[in-house]
């Protein structure tokens, strides 16, 4: 089983590398992270924190938008594309289960995404540390940011597979992937913001709102990174966002989402005809 999964992962990673996806995604992460790092360096003197702390706060915002987008763009045709090209039936003639095929793709795509995230965020973190100094807390915050951004990418990779399996074509899967990104990353927060304004400090804001934040992987990612560092929370302005939550809520949500989404993708994949 492990051998078959690794064989699929190796073949899929060669395809991703040949298509220059790893290079393109890494370049995007590096450019955006560096731009945000040095464009947002002004608050360091005002807040009395090092540049790396400000950089981590800026890159948290970058990662919550870019990591899901990159993950969905690599995953949307993982199944629908195989069906359109007629290769799914050929692959399944081998002694290989659909679950093994899905895990192999997931491993390859997550490796490619992890390279892009680690190099992109790591390069910006190194540049800010060399330029404006770094404390032990900010270095740990950067490490946590990279690890949690990879976890966030894993969530949306699996959601992308589910979208790919449920769509009848790669074009339909691309549209559904964009819809997922909009809902989870943009519209969900807008809906919560409207509800909080309407509630005007009532029981929803105090009791329900924090748990709804943790239920969304994108917001759980933000909360985990903010809650882990007082300095990052100060710079980001989200110090009180998760005040009503236990410390384990956001990490548990972000750890469970990839597993649940992969199960959804596997169930959807089972209904796809080669």
CA dist 79 → 184, 207, 250 (Å): 22, 40, 30
The helix/strand/coil state of 135 is coil
Dihedral angle over CA of 54, 56, 61, 65, nearest 10: 150
pLDDT of residue 161: 95
CA dihedral sign, ordered 109, 229, 61, 195? positive
CA dist 94 → 74, 101, 140, 161 (Å): 24, 11, 45, 21
pLDDT at 241 exceeding the cut of 70: no
Burial status of residue 205 (CB atoms within 10 A of its CB: 0-12, 13-18, 19 or more): middle
pLDDT of residue 41: 55
Mean pLDDT of the chain: 84
pLDDT of residue 4: 87
Question: Using H for helix, E for strand and C for coil, what is the string for 52-102?
Answer: HHHHHHHHHHHHHHHHHHHHHHHHCCCCHHHHHHCCHHHHHCCCCCHHHHH
DSSP string of 182-205, one letter each residue: IIIIIIHHHHHHHHHHHHTSSHII
pLDDT of residue 146: 94
pLDDT at 209 exceeding the cut of 70: yes
pLDDT at 102 exceeding the cut of 90: yes
This prediction's pTM: 0.89
What are the residues whose beta carbons fall under 8 Å from the beta carbon of 132, sequence distance 6 or more? 41, 44, 50, 51, 52, 54
pLDDT at 231 exceeding the cut of 60: no
Q: What is the CA radius of gyration of the chain?
A: 20
Q: What is the pLDDT of residues 139-154, one digit of tens each?
A: 888 899 999 999 999 9
| Better-scored residue on pLDDT, 78 or 243 | 78
Of the segments 16-20, 166-170, 217-221, which one has the largest average pLDDT value?
A: 217-221
b/e sequence 56-67, b meaning 16+ C-beta within 10 Å: bbbbbebbbebb
Average pLDDT over residues 214-229: 84
């Amino acid at each position: 089983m492990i051998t078959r999964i690794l064989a699929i992962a190796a073949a899929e990673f060669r395809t991703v590398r040949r298509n220059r996806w790893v290079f393109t995604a890494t370049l995007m992460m590096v450019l955006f992270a560096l731009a945000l790092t040095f464009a947002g360096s002004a608050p360091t003197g005002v807040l009395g924190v090092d540049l790396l702390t400000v950089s981590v706060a800026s890159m948290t915002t970058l990662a919550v938008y870019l990591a899901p987008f990159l993950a969905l763009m690599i995953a949307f045709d993982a199944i629908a594309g195989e069906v359109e090209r007629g290769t799914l039936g050929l692959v399944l003639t081998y002694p290989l289960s659909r679950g093994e095929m899905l895990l192999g793709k997931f491993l390859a795509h997550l490796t490619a995404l992890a390279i892009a995230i680690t190099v992109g965020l790591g390069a910006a973190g190194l540049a800010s540390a060399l330029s404006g100094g770094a404390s032990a807390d900010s270095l740990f915050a950067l490490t946590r940011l990279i690890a949690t951004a990879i976890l966030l990418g894993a969530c949306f990779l699996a959601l992308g597979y589910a979208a790919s399996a449920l769509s009848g074509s790669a074009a339909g899967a691309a549209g559904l992937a964009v819809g997922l990104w909009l809902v989870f990353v943009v519209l969900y927060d807008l809906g919560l913001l409207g509800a909080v304004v309407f509630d005007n400090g009532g029981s929803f804001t105090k009791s329900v709102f924090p748990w709804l934040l943790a239920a969304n992987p994108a917001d759980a990612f933000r909360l985990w990174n903010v809650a882990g560092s007082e300095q990052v929370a100060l710079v980001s302005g989200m110090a009180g966002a998760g005040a009503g939550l236990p410390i384990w809520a956001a990490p548990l949500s972000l750890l469970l989402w990839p597993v649940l989404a992969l199960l959804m993708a596997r169930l959807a994949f089972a209904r796809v005809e080669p």
